[in-house]
Amino acid sequence: MSGGATVEGDAPLRLFLALELPDDVAAALHTWGERHLRRGRHLESLHVTLAFLGAQPRAVLDGILGALREEARATEPFTLGAVRYRETRSVGMLVLDDPSGAATGLAERLHARLRALHVYEPERHRWLPHVTVLRFREQPKLDPPLPEIPRFAPSGAAAFLSRLHPSGARYEVLESCSLGAGVE
C-alpha cells in the first residue's frame, strides 16, 4: 500500500477506484493511440475504472479506502487482454477480457461494499473491463487495429482523486495497494 495525493479541508472529493496499468502497457497504449486515434482528446492517465464515486464528503474516505484495501488483498492474481475498440457517445475505449472473472469479481465486491457505505450508485449496465483512451464531443467512428500488447496483470488497485481543469480532469493517486496480498 502506498499513498500519493493529499486532501485537506471539508470540500467534497471527486473520487474513483481503478486498476492501475503497468508502465510498459500504458506507454504502449499511448503510442498506439497517437498512431491510430487521430480525432479527439487522448487521455494521459490510463486505468481500468472499477467504480466512479463522484463527489464525496471527506468523512467517508477512510471507509472507501478500507473497502479497496480489503477487496484488493482478497483478489486472486489475474490477467487482462485487449479484445476490441469501442466508442460510446463521448469516449473511445479498449475493451478487455477477464477470462478468470477475478477483475469482475473485484468490481462487483467493491460495488456491494460501496453501496453499503452509501457512496455508490450502481451503473445501469454490467461492469465492463476497459481502458478509456479517448474523449470527444462528436463520435469519430474510428476502427483502429488492436494494440500489440501482451496480456497483462494490473500493477495494483488505487483510489484516485479527480480534479477538474479546463483542459480536462487530472487524476492523482490517493492510495495504491497490491492485488492478492492476502491470498494464500
Q: What is the pLDDT tens value at each position of the chain, 184 positions in all?
A: 555 555 556 789 999 999 999 999 999 999 999 999 989 999 989 999 999 999 999 999 999 999 999 999 999 999 999 999 999 999 999 999 999 999 999 999 999 999 999 999 988 899 999 999 999 999 999 999 999 999 999 999 999 998 887 777 789 999 999 999 766 5
Predicted local confidence at residue 181, as pLDDT? 73
Q: How far apart are CA 48 and CA 27, in angstroms?
A: 15
Amino acid at 89: R
Predicted local confidence at residue 20, as pLDDT? 98
Return all residues near 121 (Cβ < 8 A) that are at least 6 apart: 115
Yes or no: say if 29 and 21 are a contact pair by the CB < 8 Å rule: yes
Predicted local confidence at residue 121, as pLDDT? 92
Predicted local confidence at residue 38, as pLDDT? 87
Predicted local confidence at residue 123, as pLDDT? 86
Q: How far apart are CA 90 and CA 107, in angstroms?
A: 23
CA 3 to chain centre: 17
184 sits in which H/E element:
none
Q: How far apart are CA 159 and CA 149, in angstroms?
A: 25
Q: How far apart are CA 19 and CA 64, in angstroms?
A: 15
Q: How far apart are CA 115 and CA 144, in angstroms?
A: 37
Verdict on whether the full-model pTM lies above 0.85? yes
In this structure, what C-alpha cell is assigned to residue 170? 487530472
Q: Where are the beta strands (DSSP E) in the chain?
A: 2-3, 13-20, 41-42, 47-56, 81-87, 91-97, 130-135, 156-163, 170-177
- How deeply is 19 buried, as exposed, middle or buried, from its count of CB atoms within 10 A (0-12, 13-18, 19+)? buried
Question: Within 13 A of 93's CA, how many CA atoms are on the CB side?
Answer: 17
Predicted local confidence at residue 168, as pLDDT? 73
